[in-house]
Structure formats: C-alpha cells, structure tokens
Amino acid sequence: MLPRWNVTSRVFIPPIHQTPTPLLSAQISTRLPPYYLNMKFSWIDVSIPFFNATPAIVPVSVNWFPNRRCNYECHFCFHTNTNQYILPLDDAKRGLRMLADAGMKKLNISGGEPFLQPRYIGEIFKFCKEELYIESCSVVSNGSKVTEKWLDQYGQYLDVMAISCDSFDMETNIKQGRAEHGTATTHIENVFKVAQWAKDRGIRVKINTVVTINNWEEDMNDQIEQLAPFRWKVFQVLLLDSENTGAETGSLRDARHLTITTEQFEGFLQRHASQTCLVPEDNDAMKDSYLNLDEKMRFLNCMDGGKKPGRSLLDVGVQPALQDSGFNETAFNERGGIFDWKREAPQSLEW
C-alpha cells in the first residue's frame, strides 16, 4: 500500500500498517478521518493547527462605505471625505460575493453620500439581489440626490431607505452642517419627499438622527409620526480620532463642542418614548458592534477610539480580514443588530 498525500495542508499521512517512509513536501486535504487529526509520530508532528483556531466570524450584517465623497458638511461626521477612491465595479462584486459566501445576509451602503454614485450603487444592489440572493439591501442617504428615476430603475432591489435627519428646524440643520454645501435650506423638504417616494415603491423607510448639543432639547414627535418610519435610529454623537476630533488627530471635522452627556441623551429619548419605532444607540452600544467596511474593503477597527483599517478582504480573504475588525458579536446582538430587515412582500391577488 502506497503512502497518501493530501492536497491542502502540508501533512504526510502514512498507511496505517506500514512503517513511515521519508517525508516529502506535499499538500494534503483537511478532510481527514478522525484518527488522523492531531496524531503524532516520533519523526514528525502532523498536528493541524487550524483545528484549534479562533471560531470563524459570520459577517451577517455589513456596512460598506464605497466612497467618502459627500455634498453635505455635517460637523459631527465620523466618515469624512479624506479621499476620492472607489473600487472598480468588478472588484466590488468579487468582494461582495466573498462576503455572501461567508454568510452575509444584509448589506448596508453608507458614505459619504451614496447617491453621488447612483449607477454604481444601483448595479451593486441589483447584483446582490439577482446573483447573491442577499436578504436585505439598504442605503443611508441625506436624501438630496435621490431621484424617482433611480427608484423606478433600481428600487426593486432595495429593502430599506434610511434618511438622515437630525432636526426639523432649518436653522438647527444649518448649524450642524446638515445641508448641501452647509447652507442649503431644502433638507427637511427632501426628507419627506424621499420617504414618500420610497413608500410608494414598497421600500421600508428608516430615519437616522444624531443627537448633539444643538438638538437634544428638540421635540420631533409630530414629524416622526408623519413620516411613520418602521425604524427611527437615534444615535448619541460619537467622537473618533482621525475623523472628527480636530486637526491634532488629523481629522477634517471637530465635533468635540457637539458632545452631550448621558443625561442629555436620555432626556431626548424620554421625550420621544411614545415612538414605538425608536431604536436608541449611545456611544457604548455603537462601539465595536458594527462591521464597517471602507472603500478598499478593509474592516475598520474602532477599539482604540479611532478607525484603523485592517487588511483588504480582496487581498487576504474574508476571515483574515475579519480578524482585524475588532467586531464584538455580543454587542451587535445586544443592540438589536438583527431585525426584520426585508421589504414587505406584495399582497397576493384575490381572484
């Protein structure tokens, strides 16, 4: 009986009833019978180290920032316009297929303003639905560049339209920079318009609000009831070095004057406690509970108070890239990271 060699790990498997022959370098398959796993001979250790490796992370929900460019100037932004890079579409699709193969069920695209690249994100959502069969595709937008034409062409591939709105007071939005070029007065009008367009096409509407020193005392109940989102995500303003903590950390923004206390954030939540769609996230809930993927498909690690990019999954694969992410799955589950994220199926016809 001849010796056998495997094809993926460099391990020699001698026939059970023969004396081992000199070791040759070869690749062996990891599909071994139980009695071969971690067995040792005096002349070689054939332990397979990855059988004791860290359990694989399943990237169920991924937030991808394909481009940092934005037409708004939000002073608290924690993903700023530090470069103009955007992956070629074919490379992006390759990376998304790798993520889907690893277990991704939901893809959220954020920015920057995603609708500055309308065809790009539209083709991504189409690919995710038609070829990857992703459960949920969502986008976070300021609403200023969304068009009915885009929704008519690509809306069928979108489950959730999340619209950023921090205030229903024009002056407050301008004070926060939540306006086109920091000065435009059309933001509130756009929020209502895009929300209705989305609903008309069966897309679920979500509102994202960042609570700062400028808006923590505001009462938004009436407007939220009019918009009737299925989720209202309310964030406590978050500081991240290299993004929004001033020039000394290399940041383009400085949000340190916008921070609020835990008591102020709780005050805002209590004022809106009657809103059943409200989903609050303070700084502790946000920290390390997201899988954030940058424009080069590198997971961003925020464990040390900044946003440190790891290795690109396009270069090293999904699992090695995930090991760089600092992702806390427990925190993800505790903040309600998994929810009913699919658009509602159309009602069946009655004949």
Do 103 and 125 share a domain, yes or no?
yes
Asked if 165 is an active-site residue, the reply is no
> How far, in Å, CA of 134 to CA of 303, rounded?
29
Whether pLDDT at 264 is above 60 = yes
* Residue 328 located in a structural domain: yes
Do 323 and 197 share a domain, yes or no?
yes
Q: What is the mean pLDDT of the chain?
A: 84
Asked if 302 is an active-site residue, the reply is no
| pTM score, whole prediction | 0.80
Mean pLDDT of the region 244-262: 84
| pLDDT (0 to 100) of residue 53 | 60
Which member of 70, 128, 137, 302 is catalytic?
A: 70
Cβ proximity of 65 and 95 under 8 Å: no
> How far, in Å, CA of 269 to CA of 123, rounded?
38
Cβ proximity of 72 and 300 under 8 Å: no
Cβ contacts of residue 330 below 8 Å, gap of 6+?
A: none
For residue 99, give the CATH number of its domain. Answer: 3.20.20.70
Indicate the angle between helix axes 89-101 and 118-130, nearest 10 degrees. Answer: 30
| pLDDT (0 to 100) of residue 87 | 97
Do 199 and 325 share a domain, yes or no?
yes
| pLDDT (0 to 100) of residue 157 | 98
pLDDT digits (tens, 9 = 90+) for 196-232: 999 999 999 999 999 999 999 999 999 999 999 999 9
Who wins on pLDDT, 249 or 73? 73
Whether pLDDT at 22 is above 70 = no
Minimal CA–CA distance to 212: which of 268, 285, 135? 268
Mean pLDDT of the region 259-277: 97
Do 89 and 31 share a domain, yes or no?
no
Who wins on pLDDT, 241 or 205? 205
- 139-173 per-residue burial string, b: 16 or more CB within 10 A, e: under 16: bbbbbbbbeeebbeebbebbbbbbbbbbbbeeeeb
Under the banding of pLDDT at 50, 70 and 90, the label for residue 249 is: confident
Under the banding of pLDDT at 50, 70 and 90, the label for residue 52 is: very low
Which long-range contacts (C-beta less than 8 Å, at least 24 apart) are formed by 4-12?
6/30, 6/32, 9/48, 11/46, 11/48, 12/44, 12/46
Residue 220, amino acid:
M
Do 141 and 11 share a domain, yes or no?
no
Do 44 and 94 share a domain, yes or no?
no
Mean pLDDT of the region 241-262: 83
Do 236 and 158 share a domain, yes or no?
yes
**Tokens encoding 101:** 């193969």
Residues in the chain: 351
Which member of 77, 128, 137, 302 is catalytic?
A: 77
DSSP SS3 for 108? strand
* Residue 344 located in a structural domain: no
pLDDT digits (tens, 9 = 90+) for 93-152: 999 999 999 999 999 999 889 999 999 999 999 999 999 999 999 999 999 999 999 999
Cβ proximity of 56 and 24 under 8 Å: no
The percent of residues above 70 in pLDDT, for the chain, comes to 81
Classify residue 176 by burial, with Cβ atoms within 10 Å: 0-12, 13-18, 19+.
buried
Do 116 and 245 share a domain, yes or no?
yes
| pLDDT (0 to 100) of residue 26 | 37
- 7-32 per-residue burial string, b: 16 or more CB within 10 A, e: under 16: eeeebbbbeeeeeeeeeeeeebeeeb
Mean pLDDT of the region 180-194: 90
Do 93 and 170 share a domain, yes or no?
yes
* Residue 342 located in a structural domain: no
Classify residue 115 by burial, with Cβ atoms within 10 Å: 0-12, 13-18, 19+.
buried
- Kindly report which listed range (19-23, 167-171, 180-184, 214-218) carries the lowest average pLDDT score: 19-23
Do 71 and 89 share a domain, yes or no?
yes
* Residue 122 located in a structural domain: yes
* Residue 46 located in a structural domain: yes
> How far, in Å, CA of 281 to CA of 209, rounded?
10
- Kindly report which listed range (24-38, 73-87, 197-211, 237-251) carries the lowest average pLDDT score: 24-38
Do 11 and 98 share a domain, yes or no?
no
Do 44 and 143 share a domain, yes or no?
no
Domain count, the chain: 2
By residue range, what is the domain housing residue 16? 1-53
* Residue 339 located in a structural domain: no
Asked if 70 is an active-site residue, the reply is yes
pLDDT digits (tens, 9 = 90+) for 282-309: 988 877 889 999 999 999 998 777 778 9
- 190-213 per-residue burial string, b: 16 or more CB within 10 A, e: under 16: bbbebbebbbeeebbbbbbbbbbb
* Residue 44 located in a structural domain: yes
pLDDT digits (tens, 9 = 90+) for 84-94: 899 999 999 99
* Residue 347 located in a structural domain: no
Under the banding of pLDDT at 50, 70 and 90, the label for residue 32 is: very low
